[in-house]
Amino acid sequence: MTETQAKNRNGKLWRAIIFAGLATVPLIYSGLLTGSFSDPQGNFDNIQAAVVNNDVATTTETTDGETKTVDLGDQLTEKLVDSDEAKNFDWEELSAEEAAEQLADGEVLAVLTIPEDFSANAVSPAGDDPKQAKLHIETNDAANMFVGTIANQIGTVVADELATEVSDEYLTNIYAGFTSIHGSLQEAADGSTELGNGIGDADDGAGELQVGINQLVSGTGELASGADTLASGADQAASGASDLASGAATLDSGAQQLSSGAQQAASGANELASGTAELEEQTSGLPDQAAQLDDGAQSLADGAGQVADGTQQLADAVNGAASTAETVAQVAEQLTAQGGELQTGASDVVTGLDDLVTNWDTLTDEEKFALVTQIQSGAQQVQTGFDDAATSLDGIDLSGLDALQDPGAIVDQVNELNDGAQQVATGAETLAGGTSQLRDASGALADGIAQVNSGAQQLADANGQLADGASTLASGTSTLASGANTLADGTGELSDGANELSDGAHQVADGTGEAADGTNSLRDGLDQLLDGSGELTSGLEDGVDEVPSYTDSESETLADVTSNPVQLDTSRQNEVAKNGDGMAPYFMSLALWVGGMAYFMMHEPLRKARGSGSILVDTLRAFLPGAIMGLVQSTLMLFVVHFLVGVDYALVWPVVGLAFLASVTFVAMNQALVALLGAPGRFLALVMIVLQLSSAGATYPVQTAPPFYQAIHPWLPLSYSVEAFRALIAGSTINVSAAVGHLLIWFAIALFGVAVAVWLERRKIARLARDAGADAEVGKVSVRGGVNNVPNRASDGLGA
């Protein structure tokens, strides 16, 4: 194979390689960029985050009265630290000081703080002062602005899960409270059942009360009948007492006449005795005196007969009055005794029913209350009737019957008086017969004058006794008349009281009876009713205690807390205002790299190298034009990004310094690639763009990228410029020192590469000169212009 053929074959192979390389550019860009964002959310577990647990466990009371400890902070911390979910951060528990320090240094990208009152507030919706349980997530935009958004999403998920647990706990308590309320209401229902049974018993008792009232009506009917009989007897007693008073008045008048006649008879008898004494001496006037004696004897006989009749009537009246008085006294005593018992019974009924009415207020049964109130009214009428009857009995003055307290003595005196009157009547009749005979046989009077004298003495003695007895009779009949009047007045009042008692008894018959027996049953039923109502009240009170009551404000607060029981607060250190501020570090770094690459697309990398002097001087001479262009590019970029785009630089001069350093570094790197490799160097610089774009962590943290990108991230300069720009724009110095150090290293490596390129170019030119066998002059010319011209030809050749 000839040299020409070899050259043609090498040229074709080189062109094929170039064609294949250029054809793979879209593949490389699409593949690498798409691969870097293949599943960032599935790699969140590579992001370091810290959890600070300041929560203090709290105790809460369960519905069964037991207490349990709630430590949600510890549970959440354990859950986060032990979590192996790909969509969760890699959490570690740190103290507040350690977490703050590592967040500021960028060692952790998020800090979740659980406050000390988290558990207490989480369970507070079940209490009287509901509060939201709060979590706090803090990120640092100086490390990565988008981590704040990611952390907020994760924190929201955590808060939602905790809210679900808190809501479950709250609803568990609520449903347990409903169960307790159900139990209390069941007890209330049981109580209401017993209440119904008690009401049934009360109804039965009311029925028995009705029966008792009927029996009471029957008994009071008998009482009314007895009262009627008493009233009738009292009327008869009043009538008999009135007759007795009238007869006693007549008897008193006759007794007075008898006393006066007896006195006259005694005086006449004395005169008769004196006359008979003289009769013996004077018998000439015997017929006339006999006639007078006969007249007087007839008058005496008549008066004695009247006295006998009056004393007989008096004895009969006194005997009847005594019998009637005894009956009245017995009836009065029975009435008084029964009246006291009835009054006491009626008072007991009223008292019991008053108690019933008083206790009935708790029953809220209007119909029963009206019925019992009606019973109370009837009982009060009973009490009023009995009180009136008792008052009437108390008002009766029975002192008029004091004279009859020993009716036997009065009857004996009256009977003795009657016997004396009968004897007087008999003697008067005998006297009348004798005087008649004396009148008829006055002629024989003289013969029996001695007998007459003796009889006259006896008559004087008898008339003296008759005068004494008549005087005693007159005194007794006066007392009898006074007592009979008093008895008549008392029996009149007794009759009125008996009539009032009869009316009261009829009223009692309308409303009472054996109400006490019925009210006992009613009381038992009402006791059960009260017990049942007590259980009902207790059960309802328990139910009320289990059911909380809230004001409108408390209801709104509780609704807000229970609908969002866990609240997530977020804060960002070194917060940037806009997404543009967060993306600017990425695009600024990219722009500086593209600016350095574009410069060497238009200029040869060693154009200013003269090929003479030291390699270092020649290297600096070749580097200086690109460095000046990089400074101009970075200055224009900073001006436009700040004043036209509106990105704020928190640390202005450090941003300017970093832009200058990144720019000259990227210029040097692109110069070294092109100077060493020529056209393949440009291709490699183009590939390095996509490698750095995909692994720089511009949006999602690089920890979320696949392992390949995480592996190359620390070896590429764009990664450090992005991190440094991000920190300085946000106002922090996280990783700035490291970034400056790495960029300086890359800058030194790039200058060293340029120096190597200058050295290699010099060797190449020298070799070509030797191979050509040119003369010294040509060699001098070649050496003097080779650095400028030979590379150009080589580049042109690579370009072709």
At 728-737, the pLDDT tens digits run 999 999 889 9
- The average pLDDT across 19-41 equals 69
Q: Say if 528 falls within a structural domain.
A: no
Q: Would residue 57 count as lying in a domain?
A: yes
Q: Note whether residue 517 is domain-resident.
A: no
What's the whole-model pTM score?
0.50
Q: Is residue 668 situated within a structural domain?
A: yes
Residue with the larger pLDDT of the pair 20 and 325 = 20
| Number of folded domains that form the chain | 3
Residue 626 lies in a domain: yes
Tell whether 91 and 164 lie within a shared domain. Answer: yes
Q: What is the pLDDT of residues 173-189, one digit of tens each?
A: 554 554 555 566 566 56
In this structure, the answer to whether residues 558 and 650 fall within a common structural domain is no
224 by Cβ neighbours in 10 Å (0-12 / 13-18 / 19+) ranks as: buried
pLDDT at 205: 66
Domain co-membership, 279 together with 155: no
CB atoms within 10 A of CB 793: 11
504 vs 649, more confident? 649
DSSP secondary structure string, 532-595? HHHHHHHHHHHHHHHS----HHHHHHHHHHHHS-EEEEEEEET--SSHHHHHHHHHHHHHHHHH
Task: Check which CATH number belongs to the domain holding 177 and give it.
Answer: 3.40.1710.10
What pLDDT sits at residue 226?
Answer: 73
Structure tokens at 490: 């008392």
3-state secondary structure of 653: helix
Residue 800 in 3-state DSSP?
A: coil
Q: Is residue 72 part of a domain?
A: yes
Q: Which of 111-125, 292-306, 347-361, 470-484 has the lowest mean pLDDT?
A: 347-361
Average pLDDT value over all residues in the chain = 74
The reply to whether 110 and 173 lie within a common domain is yes
Claim to verify: residue 777 and residue 726 sit in the same structural domain = yes
Please, what is the angle between helix 145-279 and helix 286-359, to 10°?
170
Residue at a domain's end among 480, 509, 538: 509
What is the average per-residue pLDDT within 648-663?
95
Q: What percent of the chain stands above pLDDT 70?
A: 55
Q: Of all helices (H) and strands (E), which one includes residue 620?
A: helix 615-639
The verdict on residue 70 lying in a domain is yes
Question: Same domain for 628 and 746?
Answer: yes
Question: Quick one: 160 and 298 in the same domain?
Answer: no
Give me the pLDDT at residue 160, please: 73
The pair of three-digit structure tokens given for residue 475, joined into one six-digit string: 């005194």
Q: What is the mean pLDDT of residues 516-526?
A: 63
My answer on whether 634 and 755 are in the same domain is yes
**Structure confidence at residue 781 (pLDDT):** 42
CB 662 within 8 Å of CB 592? yes
Q: How far apart are CA 592 and CA 585, in angstroms?
A: 11
Q: Both 66 and 155 in a single domain?
A: yes
Do 122 and 240 share a domain, yes or no?
no
> Which pLDDT band holds residue 593 (cuts at 50, 70, 90)?
very high
| Among candidate residues 733, 720, 702, the one with its CA nearest the CA of residue 574 | 733
pLDDT band at 751 (very low <50, low <70, confident <90, very high): very high
Q: Which residue has the higher pLDDT, 576 or 353?
A: 576
- pLDDT-derived band at 276 (thresholds 50, 70, 90) equals low
Number of residues that this document lists for the chain: 800
Q: What angle do CA 533, 536, 539 make, to 5 degrees?
A: 150
689 close to 670: Cβ distance less than 8 angstroms: no
Q: Please state the rounded mean pLDDT for residues 661-688.
A: 92
Q: Which domain holds residue 97?
A: 44-184+549-573
Task: Report CA-CA distances (Å) from 222 to 384, 481, 518.
Answer: 19, 37, 20
Rg for the chain, CA atoms, rounded: 74
pLDDT (0 to 100) of residue 508: 62
d(CA 220, CA 235): 21
Share of the chain above pLDDT 90, in %: 17
Which structure tokens are listed for 324? Answer: 């009637």
* CA distance from start to end of the chain: 23
Residue 797: band (very low, low, confident or very high) from pLDDT cuts 50, 70, 90: very low
In contact, 352 and 516? CB cutoff 8 Å:
yes
3-state secondary structure of 58: strand
CA distance 489 to 112: 113
pLDDT at residue number 75: 87
Across the range 485-503, mean pLDDT stands at: 74
Whether residue 303 lies inside any domain: the answer is yes
If asked whether residues 332 and 353 sit together in one domain, one would say: yes
582 and 560 part of one domain: no
